[in-house]
Amino acid sequence: MVKQHLKRLASPRTWPIGKKTLTFVARPLPGPNKKEHYLPITVILRDLIGIASTTKEVKFIQHNKDCLIDGKVSHDNKQPLGLLGVVSLPKIKESYRLTITEKNKLQVIKVDEKEANQKVSKIIGKTILKKGKVQLNLSDGRNVLVAKDTYKVGDSLHLEVPSQKIISVLSFEKGALVFLDGGSHVGKLGTVESIEKETITIKFEKELYKTKKEYAIVIGKEKPIITVQ
């Protein structure tokens, strides 16, 4: 039987919560992201946004369908919000994107109404289906069907949510603007200078750094197409 709560002392270091203020914190339902890269909606609404002060109030907001995750109504207070996902509160007309800081702590940043329906997801795999169709497997657990296999693992999709309509493809290549979700340079934006197998060289301002390719998420060319900082 799955435990309903998680001890705060055992929670991931990326979670921006007090470790010793209380004993327990809501245990999120299993999600596609790494456990370090998602938060239960209770923690988002109560501890980060501050629209609720108790779990009971969070449940009340959800019962009235006043909480959306990536455009879909959220019904469970333990539902996880993954990295770069958006929680929307239509009643007060506010939306927030979950991102990560340079101190390796998750945070929410306010985004405008137009951006609330947009998301960037990294292609982590491809599956060939019948009749030549291709299924793109994305970093946030989504699967998108495409007619032609013109996509590469490592590229990012700029999506409209919740329809999953592909707005554009962001290629992982030299000159691409990437956001790092791990490593010693987590939370930074940089431009890809070179790609060598599983290692890439990234330029931050005037300095060059090497990091793992798996940490990089393409979010634009010259400027990010979504707000991450």
Tokens 């292609």 correspond to 123
**Sign of the CA dihedral running 174, 105, 161, 90:** negative
CA angle (142, 72, 68) in 5-degree steps: 120
Average pLDDT of the segment spanning 189-203: 93
pLDDT digits (tens, 9 = 90+) for 138-162: 999 999 999 888 899 999 999 999 9
What local confidence, expressed as pLDDT, does residue 128 receive? Answer: 87
**Pairwise pLDDT comparison (33 vs 63), residue with the higher score:** 63
Distance CA 11, CA 106 (A): 13
Given strand 86-89, what is the order of strands in its sheet? 72-73, 68-69, 86-89, 94-100, 106-111
Tell me which residue of 101, 98, 201, 112 sits closest to 140, measured CA to CA. Answer: 98
114, 121 contact by CB (below 8 A)? no
Tokens found for residue 19? 């470790």
What local confidence, expressed as pLDDT, does residue 22 receive? Answer: 67
Per-residue pLDDT at 112 exceeds 50: yes
**CATH 2.30.30 occupies which residues in the chain?**
177-220
pTM over 0.85: yes
- Just give the CATH number of 177-220: 2.30.30
Mean pLDDT score across all residues of the chain: 90
Task: Name which of 66-75, 116-125, 128-137 the model is least confident about.
Answer: 128-137
Per-residue pLDDT at 195 exceeds 90: yes
> What pairs with residue 80 in β-bridges?
40
Per-residue pLDDT at 26 exceeds 80: no
Per-residue pLDDT at 13 exceeds 90: no
Task: Name which of 25-29, 160-164, 205-209 the model is least confident about.
Answer: 25-29
61, 49 contact by CB (below 8 A)? no
Distance CA 7, CA 18 (A): 11
Residue 13, class by beta-carbon neighbours within 10 Å (0-12 exposed, 13-18 middle, 19+ buried)?
A: exposed
What local confidence, expressed as pLDDT, does residue 4 receive? Answer: 67
Distance CA 149, CA 72 (A): 28
Helix/strand/coil for 63: helix
**CATH 3.10.290.10 occupies which residues in the chain?**
5-113
Distance CA 219, CA 122 (A): 9
Distance CA 159, CA 70 (A): 10
Distance CA 42, CA 205 (A): 37
What local confidence, expressed as pLDDT, does residue 199 receive? Answer: 93
Average pLDDT of the segment spanning 72-96: 94
Per-residue pLDDT at 2 exceeds 60: no
* The CATH number, out of the four listed (3.30.70.3290, 3.30.465.10, 2.10.109.10, 2.40.50.740), of the domain defined by the range 117-169: 2.40.50.740
Per-residue pLDDT at 86 exceeds 60: yes
User: Given this structure, which CATH class describes domain 5-113?
Assistant: alpha beta
